[in-house]
Amino acid sequence: MTATAGQPLKRLRGLQAAAHERRSAALAAAIHEGLLQEDVLDFTPTAILMDVDLIEATIAHLRHGAGYPEDTLHTVAVKANPVGGVLRIFLEAGMGAEVASLGELAQALHVGFPPDRIVFDSPAKTAAELEFALARGVPTNLDNFQELARAAALVAAHPEWLERPGGLAVGLRINPQVGSGSIAALSTGGAVSKFGLPLSECREELVAAFVAHPWLNMLHLHVGSQGLPTSLIVEGAAKVVLLRRRVPALFDPDRGVRLMTENGRSLLAKAGCVVSRVEYTKASGGRRIAVCHAGADLLMRACYMPETWGMRVRVCDSRGAPKEPRSSAGAGSGEDGGGGDVSGGDVSVGGLTGDGVELEIQDIAGPLCFQGDRLATAALLPRCEVGDWVMVLDAGAYTLSMASRYNSRSSPAVYGFSGGPSSGAASSGDAGVWAVKLRKLRGRETLQQVLDYWNIE
């Protein structure tokens, strides 16, 4: 890697090292500006905070420091975080958008992504959805031979699509059948998969399809999202590339071969956190319980399947300052540990750390009407008091996009923040509150909007 290519990574590492200090400063700024308290009936003291500097640094590293060809079209998975204000960060940074439904496609177009920088993937596109995408020149991957037949009929009915500049960008999704990772629900490259055409079972049909339809000019490969060794991903890519022997035109450099990538969680998860005020505390069965306003409605995977998607929980005081021991909550602490356990603090008799922070085994409970609605269970955390703030890390992806309507709770606002520690901006006082700039990326949902949802005519 050249010195120039190393600059994005250097900035990214600096921001990651100050992650918890940065998000705590953002929380303090939001409290100071009154964004987390409104004197209206339907206001809930919960928000999602997104580190815009960290997102931009991650994008810069992906595009300019990770070794991809310069003309690679990197796309953000809209399903990870469909918030318009978040997607515009990627649009302005020159990235594309990967969509998996008509709603996501419409959102990408609404935000302003050019059609040729959107990739449409879905195993259940209707004929109308296919026509909508192809008519606008959206690169589209077909999932099966029946869908290919639909697309072929549409192309035959619209020869003008082939005559426009750039023609069509249409591909087939291939399942390389190389095996699954440690999370079955996120592994798409096993022998049995709902996605794509099984390579080992229909290789000849695949070759025949590309020969019969010259407008087929893309290949889509996805082995899985998480819990996969790199070697399995490489093996999957290698199997698909073997098709070049049978369909060399797909890999002809004179036709402008281009690599496209799709990333979601890796671009967004660590840039976001959910913050929610502690409303009440109590004791039950000898254990302290703190009740806040965020739960399984926002953090569905983590609450329902904590063994697979564990949460990292932190506690801040009423001003937004971290309550963790300095050895745990200082620079870089945002990337340590797991669950709700505070490690690194020197705990002594009486539950006090060497920093004088009182630690206690606690549950952090959400607001929903079922017992499993917990952000942390029997976790060693700084003692929560009414008015403190619970902070759930790694929540920048698959949070609002998977939110539940259970108990008819309003979804929170999303704020982006920039400046602050390790960003090049000056920091002064109260966790750098004055150095942080906040901007609204999405407004909060009102009670009337919840009622509108349940009473659509």
Assess if residue 286 is contained within a domain. Answer: yes
Domain CATH for 241? 3.20.20.10
The residue out of 226, 246, 267 marking a domain boundary is 267
Helix ranges (H only) for 280-432 are 300-304, 326-329
Q: State both tokens at 381.
A: 């955390």
Same domain, 441 and 294: yes
The residue out of 267, 288, 309 marking a domain boundary is 267
State the pLDDT at residue 4.
55
How many other CB atoms are found less than 10 A from the CB of residue 198?
A: 17
Comparing 413 with 253, the larger pLDDT belongs to 413
Global pTM? 0.90
Assess if residue 338 is contained within a domain. Answer: no
Same domain, 23 and 129: no
State the pLDDT at residue 349.
32
How many other CB atoms are found less than 10 A from the CB of residue 103?
A: 12
State the pLDDT at residue 331.
38
Q: What is the pLDDT of residues 118-138, one digit of tens each?
A: 999 999 999 999 999 999 999
Domain CATH for 384? 2.40.37.10
Same domain, 194 and 307: no
Comparing 335 with 99, the larger pLDDT belongs to 99
Assess if residue 60 is contained within a domain. Answer: yes
pLDDT band at 325 (very low <50, low <70, confident <90, very high): confident
Same domain, 17 and 154: no
Among the listed residues 202, 292, 303, 369, the single catalytic one is 369
State the pLDDT at residue 352.
64
Same domain, 238 and 272: no
State the pLDDT at residue 337.
38
Same domain, 32 and 173: no
CA atoms within 13 A of residue 296's CA, in its CB half-sphere: 15
Q: What is the pLDDT of residues 201-251, one digit of tens each?
A: 898 999 999 999 999 999 888 877 777 778 888 887 888 777 888 888 888
Asked if pLDDT for residue 427 goes beyond 50, the answer is no
Taking each helix axis from N to C end, the angle separating 3-17 and 52-64, rounded to the nearest 10 degrees, works out to 150
Assess if residue 141 is contained within a domain. Answer: yes
State the pLDDT at residue 424.
52
Assess if residue 193 is contained within a domain. Answer: yes
How many other CB atoms are found less than 10 A from the CB of residue 291?
A: 20
Counting residues of the chain whose pLDDT is more than 70, the rounded percentage is 88
Query: What phi-psi label fits residue 64: left (phi over 0), alpha (psi between -120 and 50 degrees) or beta?
Result: alpha
Asked if pLDDT for residue 304 goes beyond 70, the answer is yes
Domain membership of residue 132 as a residue range: 69-267
Asked if pLDDT for residue 196 goes beyond 90, the answer is no
State the pLDDT at residue 19.
93
CA atoms within 13 A of residue 413's CA, in its CB half-sphere: 18
Same domain, 41 and 129: no
Asked if pLDDT for residue 433 goes beyond 70, the answer is no
State the pLDDT at residue 351.
64
Same domain, 248 and 280: no
Asked if pLDDT for residue 429 goes beyond 50, the answer is no
Asked if pLDDT for residue 342 goes beyond 60, the answer is no
Comparing 331 with 454, the larger pLDDT belongs to 454
Assess if residue 407 is contained within a domain. Answer: yes
Average pLDDT of the residues of the chain: 87
Same domain, 129 and 236: yes
Same domain, 277 and 243: no
Same domain, 401 and 445: yes
Total count of domains within the chain: 2
Assess if residue 343 is contained within a domain. Answer: no
State the pLDDT at residue 141.
95
The string of DSSP letters for 6-35 reads HHHHHHHHHHHHTHHHHHHHHHHHHHHTTT
Q: What is the pLDDT of residues 20-31, one digit of tens each?
A: 999 999 999 999
Same domain, 281 and 185: no
Mean pLDDT of 420-426: 62
The residue out of 267, 284, 304 marking a domain boundary is 267
Mean pLDDT of 299-320: 90
Counting residues of the chain whose pLDDT is more than 90, the rounded percentage is 68
Assess if residue 337 is contained within a domain. Answer: no
Q: Is 273 a catalytic residue?
A: no
